């Protein structure tokens, strides 16, 4: 089914750099590709790879180096040369894990066990936020638009100071949220009067029309409504956008997803899932009243669900998804023409990453298939291991050497096959990402599968040593059986 193409407004691609920050050379290649695909701008979430200095220097990543000031400037210059605007996203309330994880910042948490939410009552917290914003704005010459985050402010109202504040009659958690966001937005406007301010909308979704009108945010911010699901509720989303418009916030943004929203640990992107999400957004856009002024859409590509979660899919395996999503917005459907443009531009035969020719993406898909194969992932639950090499049998060294050697051979074969593929992935990934990202990816995706296989081979050797005379004999037996 066809819908009108996405209405006028910017098409931003979200670069989530809080995990797997691309090497600068690859970042420039991505910007070049984004430009060719029709992207108007970048929504850049730096977190700890921004070169904060002074008292905020502790925010810089330690696992991998932050980008240098020159690298941040060169990225912007290159993007501008391709006709793309750069909009920084700086979290100012929720998802401040990269700030509040540091011991010297612990006292600024809303509650001790929630690392992401800032205590809205402490002036020191606002000063930290404003200093972060100042440094980011200063390193983005000519900046006209800033995203202040403010999504998923978990546990708000649960801190002791918040409980005291809420004890006064008529005060609500909604007002507490609005008071902090309004304070930050007003401070931004005071410092940079020309600045357009975007914020995530989710904390405002349940607010009444009257609450929104009296929020102090009307005329101050432009809400960005996010929904990354393939079955997005069109009617509900339209109603939300219309509500914001009726409250006086007619300038609105949408946020879809091209990767990083399937599950927290997804390794390979499902293009169809993200295509469906964009088709739903096209339905939303076609259903809005003329009063709603859609400023654009941010196509998000989350690299982590939050600062402390594992890596989602890497960008190379999600490029087909991004291209499909963009062409769908441009054409109003994923037509044969749109598919031809995607496959032609990327030099691929299919839009599903499983058939991509790009080297790293291809290797990741192949390795992922191995890691998720039942024979390997559930090897410990196979008939032979459970029947002749159970934990009980291993502990008592009561095993059948003949079958145990077969188990050893199979586990060794799986390990060798995986290791060969892992080394190929490591080599290609290191060309695009820092070594810390390569190591993290392998430890998260590969080690949980290889560790049980490695333990089995070691346990077999230990058991057979007890049952066959002489260490040299057992190694000879195992070598010959291979």
Residue 7, pLDDT score: 79
Residue 349: pLDDT band by 50, 70, 90 thresholds?
Answer: low
Which of 38-47, 330-339, 389-398, 402-411 has the highest average model confidence (pLDDT)? 38-47
Please state the rounded mean pLDDT for residues 284-298: 97
Q: How far is CA 40 from CA 29, 31, 275, in A?
A: 16, 10, 19
Residue 17 pLDDT greater than 80, yes or no:
yes
Residue 49 pLDDT greater than 60, yes or no:
yes
Residue 355 pLDDT greater than 50, yes or no:
no
Q: What is the CA radius of gyration of the chain?
A: 26
State the average pLDDT for the chain. Answer: 93
Q: From the centroid of its chain, how far is CA 173?
A: 28
Of residues 335 and 259, which shows the higher confidence score? 259
42, 87 contact by CB (below 8 A): yes
Give the phi and the psi of residue 133 in degrees, each rounded to 5: -60, -40
Q: What is the pLDDT of residues 56-81, one digit of tens each?
A: 999 999 888 899 999 999 999 999 99
Domain boundaries, the chain: 10-349, 362-470
CA torsion, ordered 165, 169, 172, 173, to nearest 10 deg: 20
Residue 479 pLDDT greater than 60, yes or no:
no
pLDDT over 90 for what percent of the chain? Answer: 83
Residue 227, pLDDT score: 98
Where would I find the H helices in 332-400? 336-346, 359-371, 374-377, 383-388, 391-396
Residues with active-site annotation:
152
Residue 299: pLDDT band by 50, 70, 90 thresholds?
Answer: very high
Residue 99: pLDDT band by 50, 70, 90 thresholds?
Answer: very high
389, 464 contact by CB (below 8 A): no
Residue 357, pLDDT score: 42
Residue 65, pLDDT score: 85
End-to-end CA distance of the chain: 57
Residue 338, pLDDT score: 82
| % helix, strand, coil for the chain, step of 5 | 55, 10, 35
Residue 474: pLDDT band by 50, 70, 90 thresholds?
Answer: very low
Structure tokens at 201: 């909308």
Q: What is the pLDDT of residues 249-273, one digit of tens each?
A: 999 999 999 999 999 999 999 999 9
Right CATH for 10-349 from 3.20.20.80, 3.40.50.620, 1.10.10.10, 3.30.70.1400: 3.20.20.80
Closest among 344, 329, 254, 269 to 303, alpha carbons compared: 269
Please state the rounded mean pLDDT for residues 187-207: 98
Residue 466, pLDDT score: 72
């Amino acid at each position: 089914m066809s819908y009108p193409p996405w209405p006028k407004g910017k098409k931003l691609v979200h670069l989530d750099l809080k995990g797997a920050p691309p090497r600068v050379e690859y970042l420039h290649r991505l910007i070049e590709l984004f430009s060719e695909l029709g992207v108007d701008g970048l929504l850049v979430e730096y977190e700890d790879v921004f070169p904060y200095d002074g008292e905020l220097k502790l925010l810089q990543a330690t696992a991998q180096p932050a980008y240098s000031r020159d690298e941040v400037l060169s990225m912007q210059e290159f993007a501008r040369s391709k006709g793309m605007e750069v909009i920084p996203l700086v979290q100012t309330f929720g998802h401040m894990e990269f700030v509040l994880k540091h011991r010297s910042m612990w006292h600024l948490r809303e509650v001790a066990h929630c690392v992401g939410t800032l205590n809205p009552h402490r002036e020191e917290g606002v000063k930290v936020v404003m200093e972060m914003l100042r440094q980011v704005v200063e390193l983005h010459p000519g900046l006209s638009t800033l995203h202040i985050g403010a999504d998923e402010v978990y546990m708000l109202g649960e801190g002791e100071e918040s409980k005291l504040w809420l004890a006064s009659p008529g005060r609500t958690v909604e007002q507490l949220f609005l008071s902090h966001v309004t304070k930050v937005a007003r401070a931004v406007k005071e410092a940079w009067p020309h600045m357009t301010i975007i914020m995530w909308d989710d904390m405002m979704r349940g607010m009444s029309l009257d609450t929104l009108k009296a929020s102090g945010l009307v005329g101050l911010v432009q809400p960005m409504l996010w929904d990354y699901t393939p079955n997005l509720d069109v009617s509900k989303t339209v109603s939300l956008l219309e509500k914001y418009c009726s409250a006086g916030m007619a300038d609105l943004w949408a946020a879809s997803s091209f990767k990083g929203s399937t599950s927290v640990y997804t390794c390979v992107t499902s293009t169809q899932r993200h295509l469906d999400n964009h088709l739903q957004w096209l339905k939303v856009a076609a259903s809005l009243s003329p009063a709603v002024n859609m400023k654009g859409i941010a196509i998000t590509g989350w690299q982590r669900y939050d600062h402390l979660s594992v890596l989602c899919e890497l960008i190379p395996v999600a490029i087909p998804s991004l291209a499909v999503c963009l062409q769908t917005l441009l054409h109003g459907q994923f037509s044969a023409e749109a598919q031809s443009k995607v496959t032609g531009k990327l030099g691929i035969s299919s839009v599903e990453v499983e058939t991509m020719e790009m080297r790293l993406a291809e290797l990741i898909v192949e390795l992922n298939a191995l890691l998720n194969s039942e024979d390997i992932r559930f090897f410990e639950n196979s008939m032979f291991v459970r029947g002749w090499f159970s934990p009980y049998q291993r502990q008592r060294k009561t095993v059948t050497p003949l079958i145990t050697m077969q188990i050893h051979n199979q586990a060794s074969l799986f390990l060798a096959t995986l290791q060969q593929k892992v080394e190929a992935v490591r080599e290609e990934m290191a060309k695009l990402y820092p070594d810390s990202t390569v190591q993290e990816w392998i430890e998260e995706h590969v080690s949980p599968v290889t560790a049980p296989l490695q333990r089995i081979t070691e346990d077999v050797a230990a058991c057979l040593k007890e049952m066959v005379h002489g260490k040299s004999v057992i190694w000879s037996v195992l070598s010959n059986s291979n």
